[in-house]
Amino acid sequence: MAQETAHALVSHVIRRLTFSPTKELVERFAKGAASPQAAAKSAIEWALSAPPRPLTPETLPEDGWDPSLRGWLGNMSSPEAGLHEKMTWFWHSHFANSSEKVGNQNLLHAQQGLFRKHALGNFGKLLREISTDPAMLLYLDGSGSNVSAPNENYAREVMELFTLGRGSFSEDDVKSGALALAGWNVDYETGKVTFDASAALGGEVLFLGRRGRLSVDDVVATLLAHPNCAPYVASKIYAYIAGAPPTKERAAELGKVFRSANYEIAPLLADIVNSPEFLSLRLNRPRYPIEWFVAAYGALGTPREDAKDGGDMQPWNLQQLDQLPYKPPNVAGWPPGPKWLSPSQQLTRLAYAWGNSWWIRPIEGSDLVATVLQRCALHEVSEATRSALHDAALATAGSADALSVSRRLLTAALCSPEFSLA
């Protein structure tokens, strides 16, 4: 592995543990460090302990979709935001609820608050709260489920996707879980959640080996006690942070760490990011569109003073990039993998970068390519990309104005393979 400079390692840490890997952040930890590893360590420590960002705005106006979206993106873009922000997003994709079905943005905004509250907290508490969260009750049809004809949706997905994984439960467990979870209702207007004992389980069920008149608390406790729960959830977090799924042995180890920490999330993450492999697992997964988008916005920089209508983040582009917050494709959230490098994804990114760079200040300096790469926090760059960027700068330097050259260079850097990877 070449290029293990302080800048490269710090850039890796900041890319993985935050949404906003700016030039300034990289410099802050890389400059003057005793060694690349020491620089990376200080960046890790900062990201782990950076204070949580508050839910923004605190309360939503009448038509709250746009403010809710912009508030969230604003938090992601903040140079103060660390791993807490990154995990807030993780939980949104893990407990994926879509506004298309939930309908009420206030409930989804509050749900974001729940993810914020527990982002680095306790998974057991989060699981319990999400199980009767109003948006979740609406999204997976827990609301109105009656023991006389229970709705199976949440009971199935909580096991298949949220806690245990496929193959860990039977259809009888789904039916029993649905009976145990019946009786909850949401008032759609106010979001108030109530429990109707007359619609809830009266007798006993056998759920994942536990028999009794189980409540939602019992269901959650049974899930947490299941041997597959900790390794399943820990492995998903690992893949997000370290870029690749853990080996079987590592998954078991992570499960033990998570379980023995009583499902506290912070110790699990500390184990992942302080393990020796974390610093070498660089550029090994595509950036999700949301990661690419926030980083690209940061690299495009502040607008020229004379461009009054410029500088907008244009968050609706995230819809075209297939990752609009509050609109996951389904209950499994946004899938990982190279699909985010497909031609259609690349074309949409190209359109965004070009379309949102007309208001930048022309880039100045003797080495335009180096300046652009720094601006994009790219410190591990192939010769192929470097020379393509040099060509782009040279070929038209005499004939085109400085702004056009800058736009083209930035667009090419933002669409480069290196910037497309996390």
Strands (E) across 149-252 are located at: 184-186, 193-195, 205-207, 210-212
In the window 398-417, what residues touch other proteins (CB under 8 A)?
A: 400, 404, 408-409, 411-412, 415-417
Cβ nearer to other proteins, comparing 50 with 181: 181
- How far apart are the C-alpha atoms of 407 and 362, rounded to whole Å? 8
User: If we measure between CA atoms, which residue out of 120, 71, 112, 72 comes closest to residue 93?
Assistant: 112
Q: Which residue has tokens 């070009």?
A: 354
How near is the Cβ of 341 to other proteins at its closest, in Å?
Answer: 4
How near is the Cβ of 75 to other proteins at its closest, in Å?
Answer: 25
How near is the Cβ of 171 to other proteins at its closest, in Å?
Answer: 6
The contact pattern for other proteins, residues 345-384, with x = CB under 8 A and - = no contact, is: xxxx-xxx-xx------------------------xxxxx
Strands (E) across 151-271 are located at: 184-186, 193-195, 205-207, 210-212
For residue 93, report the phi and psi dihedrals to the nearest 5 degrees: -80, -25
Q: Strand, coil or helix: what is 205?
A: strand
In the window 193-232, what residues touch other proteins (CB under 8 A)?
A: none
Say whether residue 317 binds other proteins (CB under 8 A).
yes
In the window 164-193, what residues touch other proteins (CB under 8 A)?
A: 165-166, 171, 174
How near is the Cβ of 117 to other proteins at its closest, in Å?
Answer: 25
In the window 37-96, what residues touch other proteins (CB under 8 A)?
A: none
Cβ nearer to other proteins, comparing 320 with 374: 320
Alpha helices in 261-401 (DSSP H): 265-274, 289-300, 317-320, 343-355, 368-375, 383-395
Cβ nearer to other proteins, comparing 35 with 387: 387
How near is the Cβ of 61 to other proteins at its closest, in Å?
Answer: 27
Q: Which two tokens stand for residue 18?
A: 């935050």
From the list 40-48, 67-75, 103-111, 314-322, the region that binds other proteins by CB under 8 A is 314-322
Q: Which two tokens stand for residue 7?
A: 């800048």
Phi and psi based region of residue 275 (left: phi greater than 0; alpha: psi -120 to 50; beta: remaining):
beta
In the window 106-165, what residues touch other proteins (CB under 8 A)?
A: 140-141, 143-146, 149-153, 156, 160, 165
User: If we measure between CA atoms, which residue out of 342, 354, 421 comes closest to residue 392?
Assistant: 354
Contact between 154 and 140 under an 8 Å Cβ cutoff? The reply is: yes
From the list 56-64, 216-224, 260-268, 396-404, the region that binds other proteins by CB under 8 A is 396-404
From the list 65-73, 81-89, 108-116, 341-349, the region that binds other proteins by CB under 8 A is 341-349
Contact between 416 and 350 under an 8 Å Cβ cutoff? The reply is: no
How near is the Cβ of 77 to other proteins at its closest, in Å?
Answer: 21
User: If we measure between CA atoms, which residue out of 247, 231, 244, 13 comes closest to residue 123?
Assistant: 231
Say whether residue 389 binds other proteins (CB under 8 A).
yes
- How far apart are the C-alpha atoms of 42 and 414, rounded to whole Å? 27
User: If we measure between CA atoms, which residue out of 202, 227, 224, 199 comes closest to residue 214?
Assistant: 202
Q: Which of 210, 283, 304, 313 binds other proteins (CB under 8 A)?
A: 283
Q: Which of 280, 307, 312, 365 binds other proteins (CB under 8 A)?
A: 280
Q: Which residue has tokens 């609301």?
A: 143
From the list 25-33, 103-111, 258-266, 333-341, the region that binds other proteins by CB under 8 A is 333-341
How near is the Cβ of 92 to other proteins at its closest, in Å?
Answer: 16
How near is the Cβ of 153 to other proteins at its closest, in Å?
Answer: 5
Q: Which of 5, 320, 371, 374 binds other proteins (CB under 8 A)?
A: 320
Say whether residue 284 binds other proteins (CB under 8 A).
yes
- How far apart are the C-alpha atoms of 129 and 136, rounded to whole Å? 10
User: If we measure between CA atoms, which residue out of 228, 229, 172 comes closest to residue 205?
Assistant: 172
How near is the Cβ of 300 to other proteins at its closest, in Å?
Answer: 16
Q: Which of 206, 342, 367, 402 binds other proteins (CB under 8 A)?
A: 342
Cβ nearer to other proteins, comparing 34 with 307: 307
Angle, CA of 268, 272 and 273, to the nearest 5°: 120
- How far apart are the C-alpha atoms of 154 and 149, rounded to whole Å? 14
Cβ nearer to other proteins, comparing 116 with 278: 278
How near is the Cβ of 335 to other proteins at its closest, in Å?
Answer: 4
Q: Which of 38, 307, 395, 402 binds other proteins (CB under 8 A)?
A: 395
Cβ nearer to other proteins, comparing 2 with 62: 2
Sign of the alpha-carbon dihedral angle for 39, 42, 48, 53: negative
User: Do strands 193-195 and 210-212 pair parallel, antiparallel, or not at all (unpaired)?
Assistant: unpaired
How near is the Cβ of 150 to other proteins at its closest, in Å?
Answer: 7
